[in-house]
A = this chain, B = another copy of it.
């Protein structure tokens, strides 16, 4: 069990334990995110009304995942491909959130992660706009990802690379991809080091941008995609990776930070389970030794200044996971960039998930416009 994680159902709280319970933290931080990312509303409402203890979290969502998988197979057997695809995706999301923050039980956590991956692979070809799986070699690893291309757009289309964050992965951006596809952009998602299924091959490392570049090398060979119009959009910790990738990769023409993370100067004041999540993806099971490593990797000093493409940064003024001083740092570092937009909704929470129906289309529109302008 990771140090510092208090399980609701008992056990001594280690140093750095959360002040509230994990369950309270999860509902406070993520209820609306769950809805915005596509967990079924009925399940979210039921879970919130009935779960009394963090120990019930994984079993609840695992059971829902099993149920949707069975419904998906039934739909597929009847030839109902679209419905089967969405049901496999519901199953996938249930397993994703089952293992989310489930640090104390590695067997189920890793099993849930792998189950999620497998279910999305089944969903991908069934979507109304299918997702094509790719696996790309780099440094002895295999980068897993998906490409989706909008129909009805003749010629090469721009592409949005969508990055997950600390525990969000390529399987979680389906609805955001749909917004991009509806506006004529292809979408490309992948797990980088420390993310999703890549975690089993590579932990967080300082050269995430090389993984982005390997994906762009592949995109350049795709006949559907206009490699001159590549945008990147990263969420939460992915906002860091987006700016970091744009700093190193001139083929990225537009950058969106869906949530700002500039450095980890606030690491000591960060609450768990977020901090434990950072330690986890860097391969540590204790936040203390992880600290210097994480601070060394996650720092945009000397990088953000190099970003020459247009940047859109969204950050909720009421984000209680990442402090507003992080926004100030990015603003300063981008002072020499002539096309920078900061969108800081005063009532927005972390990544403005509570305003998902407003800010997600808005980011997508901006991305569409900036990439379209380069046609």
Contacts and interface: CB of A to CB of B under 8 A. Distances in A.
Contacts of A35: 35, 41-42, 45
Contact of A42 (B82, B86, B128, B355): B355
Contact of A40 (B82, B152, B182, B357): B357
Nearest to A40: B357
A329 interface: no
A356 interface: yes
Query: Which secondary structure dominates chain A's binding surface?
Result: helix
A128 B182 contact: yes
Interface in A168-188: 182-183
Q: Give how many copies assemble into the complex.
A: 2
Contacts of A83: 361-362, 364-365
Contacts of A42: 32, 35-36, 353-357
A86 B361 contact: yes
Question: For this complex, into which size category does the number of interface residues on chain A fall?
Answer: 20 to 34
A3 interface: no
A316 to B, nearest CB: 11
B152 A365 contact: no
A123 to B, nearest CB: 14
Nearest to A41: B35
A45 B32 contact: yes
Contacts of A364: 83
A357 B361 CA distance: 22
A109 B274 CA distance: 45
A264 interface: no
Interface string A125-160: 000100000000000000000000001100000000
22 contacts: A31-B45, A32-B42, A35-B42, A35-B45, A36-B41, A36-B42, A40-B356, A41-B41, A42-B353, A42-B357, A46-B354, A68-B358, A75-B361, A75-B365, A78-B365, A80-B361, A83-B361, A83-B364, A86-B357, A87-B361, A90-B357, A152-B152
Given A80-B365, A87-B361, 12 more contacts: A35-B35, A36-B42, A40-B358, A42-B354, A42-B357, A78-B365, A83-B361, A83-B364, A83-B365, A86-B361, A90-B357, A151-B152
